[in-house]
């Protein structure tokens, strides 16, 4: 028998970094029980950055707790009275830097961005918590996420040792770049630094001069976001600033690698699972939800479906991305800045036989941390913020771009969204997704009645 999550049958599926199920028998049980339990609508949710299974479980319990309240409320009209909801929670080896973890307890409202929505802002208002991870905490988080590979473990030891020692030495600064490059290349796969979802990885190919400029710019950006403290004067303090920048570039680089990993797990792991569920029960309606990197994971699962699963033949009846931490051009047929190229998921929207939604909020500071790295790595450091945002922006910053998306506010329970199969709606969460701590901001502020309503409405249940 499945576990329960509130009022819903619940299954947890774990994948390793290579998209293999941690326990194949669990997958067999899921496929069998979804049908035997009479589930008509299966919601599959993937967490994003996270190195704690308990935190992932908390997310699923909290989100579907809101869904359960709506389903149990007799005042909420149900379009599909016969729907029986089941929930799958995906667990995969991602990483969460300790200072990006949501604070416990109620989070304060964050200051609104200025200057056209820049995430590089002075966000030090009273009452907003700011965290600074220690090197032992960072080292532990990295080692947990990367597993047991000896080379990766050694590189993590060496990188964190350099950050801890912070020597006043140019050679050490350049050695950090070399070792970071080795870590980023350690899981394989081609890197195309000109592509929106790969740009951060290009930082280790910079000249030593541009590398120092990058570290300085990223340090300034991190300080303004509340990720580090400044006060830089003199030669020794200049090295301190560079090492502060190196710490944040390590964050950006390792998050990029987790973003890549999410794509692998989604396409080779979850995509196959969804296809198998559909083969076992052709009438099953699947609804994909993902937060942060998990939004990329569920999106790439579409690329893992058989080519025959398109339009009405697809089991996927809705796609809901919550503060997605991957390129807002991912589904574009043509990139606005290069008409000869497309997004990594061009054409995959046709594998959703229903609406596609994404939330975005300017107070999600986390989705903007790649701008300096991406722009410097591609020689665009002089560009205006709006230009950088257009090219390197994330779903969680301004929604899906170059896909003719409808723009609407994330609306109250009961709102009638104008859904169309295969069409995008960008849900503006600037009035809802506003609570958190620094430096990540409102990135994890996704559990609300409004988001639960949107998920049920997109599924055609309410």
Q: What is the tens place of the pLDDT at every residue in 350-390?
A: 999 999 999 999 999 899 878 888 888 888 866 777 788 88
Instruction: Note whether 131 and 279 are same-domain residues.
Output: no
pLDDT of residue 454: 98
Cβ–Cβ < 8 Å for 433, 410: yes
Q: Is the pLDDT of residue 125 over 70?
A: no
Sign of the alpha-carbon torsion through 173, 175, 181, 184: negative
Q: Is the pLDDT of residue 116 over 50?
A: no
pLDDT of residue 124: 45
In a domain, 264, yes or no: yes
CA dist 448 and 156 (Å) reads 37
Q: Is the pLDDT of residue 228 over 90?
A: no
Given 207, 237, 258, which residue is the final one in a domain?
258
Instruction: Note whether 425 and 328 are same-domain residues.
Output: yes
Window from 317-331, 332-346, 349-363, 364-378 with minimum mean pLDDT: 364-378
Instruction: Note whether 274 and 244 are same-domain residues.
Output: no
3-state secondary structure of 395: helix
153-182: average pLDDT? 97
Average pLDDT, the chain: 91
Window from 35-49, 170-184, 229-243, 350-364 with minimum mean pLDDT: 229-243
Q: Domain of 44?
A: 3-95+259-458
Give the total number of structural domains in the chain: 2
CA distances from 376 to 172, 251, 379, 387 (A): 21, 16, 5, 13
3-state secondary structure of 3: strand
- DSSP H or E run through 53: helix 53-72
Q: Is the pLDDT of residue 316 over 90?
A: yes
pLDDT of residue 117: 47
131-154: average pLDDT? 90
pLDDT of residue 123: 44
Instruction: Note whether 331 and 292 are same-domain residues.
Output: yes
pLDDT of residue 264: 96
Instruction: Note whether 244 and 165 are same-domain residues.
Output: yes
Which residue has tokens 């009273």?
A: 126
Given 233, 258, 283, which residue is the final one in a domain?
258
pLDDT of residue 104: 65
Q: Is the pLDDT of residue 122 over 50?
A: no
247-269: average pLDDT? 95
Window from 51-55, 313-317, 385-389 with minimum mean pLDDT: 385-389
pLDDT of residue 339: 87
CA distances from 455 to 156, 408, 440 (A): 39, 15, 24
Given 217, 236, 258, which residue is the final one in a domain?
258
pLDDT of residue 103: 66
> In whole angstroms, what separates CA 440 from the centre of its chain?
12
């Amino acid at each position: 028998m499945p576990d329960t999550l509130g009022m819903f049958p619940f299954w947890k599926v774990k994948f390793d970094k290579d998209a293999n199920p941690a326990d194949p028998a669990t997958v067999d049980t899921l496929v069998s029980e979804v049908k035997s339990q009479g589930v008509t609508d299966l919601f599959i949710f993937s967490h994003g950055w996270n190195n704690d299974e308990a935190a992932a479980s908390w997310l699923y319990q909290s989100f579907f707790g809101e869904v359960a309240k709506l389903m149990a409320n007799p005042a909420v009209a149900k379009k599909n009275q016969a729907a029986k909801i089941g929930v799958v929670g995906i667990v995969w080896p991602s990483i969460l830097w300790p200072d990006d973890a949501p604070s416990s307890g109620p989070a304060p409202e964050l200051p609104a961005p200025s200057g056209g929505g820049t995430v590089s802002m002075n966000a030090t208002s009273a009452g907003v918590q700011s965290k600074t991870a220690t090197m032992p905490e960072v080292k532990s988080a990295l080692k947990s996420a990367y597993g047991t590979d000896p080379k990766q473990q050694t590189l993590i030891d060496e990188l964190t040792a350099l950050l801890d020692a912070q020597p006043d030495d140019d050679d050490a600064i350049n050695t950090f770049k070399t070792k970071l490059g080795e870590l980023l290349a350690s899981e394989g796969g081609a890197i195309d630094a000109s592509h929106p979802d790969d740009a951060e990885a290009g930082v280790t190919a910079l000249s030593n001069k541009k590398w120092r400029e990058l570290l300085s710019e990223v340090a300034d950006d991190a300080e303004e976001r509340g990720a580090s403290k400044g006060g830089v004067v003199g030669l020794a303090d200049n090295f301190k600033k560079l090492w502060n920048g190196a710490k944040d570039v390590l964050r950006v680089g390792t998050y990029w690698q987790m973003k890549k990993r999410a794509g692998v797990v989604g396409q080779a792991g979850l995509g196959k699972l969804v296809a198998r569920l559909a083969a076992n029960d052709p009438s099953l309606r699947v609804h994909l939800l993902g937060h942060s990197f998990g939004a990329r994971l569920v999106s790439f699962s579409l690329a893992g479906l058989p080519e025959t699963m398109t339009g009405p033949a697809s089991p996927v009846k809705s796609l809901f991305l919550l503060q997605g931490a991957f390129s807002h051009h991912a589904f574009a047929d043509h990139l606005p800045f290069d008409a000869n190229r497309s997004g990594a998921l061009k054409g995959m929207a046709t594998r959703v036989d229903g609406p596609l939604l994404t939330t975005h909020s300017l107070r999600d500071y986390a989705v903007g941390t790649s701008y300096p790295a991406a722009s410097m790595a591609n020689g665009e450091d002089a560009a205006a913020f709006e230009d950088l945002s257009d090219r390197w922006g994330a779903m969680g910053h301004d929604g899906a771009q170059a896909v003719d998306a409808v723009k609407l506010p994330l609306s109250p329970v009961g709102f009638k969204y104008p859904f169309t199969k295969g069409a995008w709606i960008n849900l503006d969460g600037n009035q809802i997704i506003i609570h958190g701590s620094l430096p990540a901001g409102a990135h994890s502020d996704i559990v609300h009645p409004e988001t639960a309503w949107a998920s049920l409405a997109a599924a055609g249940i309410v």
